[in-house]
Each structure stands twice: as structure tokens, then as C-alpha cells.
Amino acid sequence: MTLPPDQTPRPRLWPDLKGSLGQSEEGARSALIAAASTLILIALVLWWVLTSEAWPAVQKQFFNPEHFRAAWPEVVRGFWLNVRMFLVAEVLILGFALLLAMIRSLRGPAFLPLRALVVVFIDLIRGLPIILLILLLGFGIPALQLPGVPNSPLFWGVAALVISYSAYTAEVYRAGIESVHESQRMSGRSLGLTQVQSLRYVLVPQAIRNVVPALLNGFVSLQKDVALVFILGIREAVRAAQIYNARTFNYTGYVVAAVLFLLVSVPVARFTDWYTERDRRRKQAMGSG
């Protein structure tokens, strides 16, 4: 079925810089051309920006090493909160969204009310800007002062993200489930599995594998969107940078935040590409084997 490990082409973390030329001499030449044109482009852009009349002012306000150091501790402290928020939220989203998708994939008239409920929920939530959902849940629900209901802005901010992202993620799962051939469901049913069992043991495991890249993509998106909870007064990284900016009128704190976000999201994006490529090659290998 599969090639021996030493013959399996290894997926790359970075896009293939050489293009798809097979012969090594041509490959080397095209790599040289690619490197040269990249360097020239970077040099041109740098020249264009650095010779701009306003560059010294921009550098002073945006890329100021002194302010970078000064803003670093408070922005990092805020970012640690971001990390905890998106890790907790992601786990809840993956679970809740799968539940929604499974309900939506149930067949038969008896499940209609459940399916309808999920469809309405997903439509409503996807139709609302996340920021509105955060404001409505974060300030609205605690204002009702219901006994036993938490009023923490952190709780409701993360809850709003989980609800919103689950609606999108449920659709990702559903696409995955629908991409599994109908015969799989039938086979499961013919083995005597119930609807829920055939979803759980036959369809979902195959579906998830198909949508892992899309799920990772959603995770990258979530990492940045958790910053939106600052509207509730939560001092995460972007808010911390904003506070620094308001105090000093210097924007370097925003650059600190940007660097931190990139440090986390770029590796995930690279991993997604690597995973997708590996998966593609495996499937190809299986097809040809």
C-alpha cells in the first residue's frame, strides 16, 4: 500500500523555493534566480520606505527599541492571558462544534426539531459580528443579575468566542462528514449500528481527518480574535499595547503585540501546510499502491 519510509517524499515546512524542476542543475539555477529576485524586491521596498521623508518620525513612534523594551513586560503579560484564553476556547469549540455538526447530520423525521434548532442557531450566530456577541453576552447577561450566573467579563468574553466559533466550526465538520461517501453510513447501519453510533464510529473519524487543515485554519483565526474581548475591559495583549500607546503616544507597543501574535500563529500556519502536504502525499501513495 504505502512506500517504504525512505522512499516517501518528505513534506516541507516551507514552500518549495526551487519550483518543480526535476534536474538538479536547472533546480540550482532557478533557486538562484528566485533568491536574487526576492532580495531585489526586499531591497527596493526597504529603499522606498527608509528614504521616505516621514520615516524618522515613523521609526520613532512605531519601531523604537527603547519603547520596545519598555512595553515588552506588560504586553507579554497580556499575551499570556490571550494564550490561556485561546487554548481553553479551542478545546471547547472543537467539542461543541462537533456536537452541533453531529446533530445536524442526523437523518430521519424524528430528529427534525433538533436539526432545525441547530440550523437556526448556526444561522443566527454566524450572522452576528463577533464583537456584538461579545458586548451582548459580556455586558448584557451579567446586567440581568440572575442568581448563580457568573458575571465575570472573562467568562462571557470566552463564552462569546466559543459560541461564535462553534457555529463556523460546526459547518467545517459538517462539510467533512458530507465528504465521506454515503456508502460508509450505509455500511455502518447494515452492521447494526444506530445512527448515532455510525456517526460516532464510522463517519466522524474519517470526516475529521479530512478537515484537519480547515480546523487548524480556524484555530489560527481564533488566536487573533481572542483579542476582541478587550472591549469588556480585559487587559490582554492588544489592550496592554493600547494602554502603553495612550500613555506615551508611542505605537511600538503594538509592534510588540504583533510580534507575539506572529510567534504563535506562523508556526501553526506552517504546521497546517506541512500536515496538508503530508496527507496529500499519503493519499497519493495509497492510490498508486
CA quadruple 33, 39, 40, 42: dihedral positive or negative? positive
Residue 157 binding another protein, by CB under 8 A? no
Residue 234 binding another protein, by CB under 8 A? yes
Cβ distance to another protein smaller for residue 235 or 270 = 235
Cβ distance to another protein smaller for residue 63 or 201 = 63
Out of 164, 242, 252, 272, the only residue in the binding site for another protein (CB under 8 A) is 242
Residue 131 binding another protein, by CB under 8 A? no
Helix axes 237-248, 65-104, angle to 10 degrees: 150
Out of 232, 255, 257, 260, the only residue in the binding site for another protein (CB under 8 A) is 232
Out of 28, 32, 44, 57, the only residue in the binding site for another protein (CB under 8 A) is 57
Residue 72 binding another protein, by CB under 8 A? no
Residue 110 binding another protein, by CB under 8 A? no
Collect all residues with Cβ–Cβ distance below 8 Å to 84 and sequence separation of at least 6. none
DSSP labels for the chain? -PPPGGGSPPP-SS--TTTT--SHHHHHHHHHHHHHHHHHHHHHHHHHHHTSTTHHHHHHHHS-HHHHHHHHHHHHHHHHHHHHHHHHHHHHHHHHHHHHHHHHT--SGGGHHHHHHHHHHHHHHHHS-HHHHHHIIIIIHHHT--TT----HHHHHHHHHHHHHHHHHHHHHHHHHHHS-HHHHHHHHHTT--HHHHIIIIIHHHHHHHHHHHHHHHHHHHHHHGGGGGGGT---HHHHHHHHHHHHS-THHHHHHHHHHHHHHHHHHHHHHHHHHHHHHHHHHHHH-
Q: Are 164 and 125 in contact (CB under 8 A)?
A: yes
> Quick one: which segment of 110-118, 119-127, 193-201, 246-254 binds another protein (CB under 8 A)?
246-254
CA dihedral 72, 78, 80, 86 (to 10 degrees): -130
Residue 51 binding another protein, by CB under 8 A? no
Residue 46 binding another protein, by CB under 8 A? no
Cβ distance to another protein smaller for residue 166 or 242 = 242
Residue 143 binding another protein, by CB under 8 A? yes
Out of 79, 173, 251, 261, the only residue in the binding site for another protein (CB under 8 A) is 251
Residue 231 binding another protein, by CB under 8 A? yes
Cβ distance to another protein smaller for residue 223 or 250 = 250
Cβ distance to another protein smaller for residue 7 or 145 = 145
Length of the chain: 289
Residue 210 binding another protein, by CB under 8 A? no
Query: For another protein, how many residues bind (rule: CB under 8 A)?
Result: 32
Out of 90, 94, 118, 138, the only residue in the binding site for another protein (CB under 8 A) is 138
Cβ distance to another protein smaller for residue 156 or 173 = 156
Out of 248, 278, 281, 285, the only residue in the binding site for another protein (CB under 8 A) is 248
Residue 206 binding another protein, by CB under 8 A? no
Give residues in contact with another protein (CB under 8 A). 54, 57-58, 60-62, 135, 138-140, 142-143, 145, 151-153, 230-235, 239, 242-243, 245-251
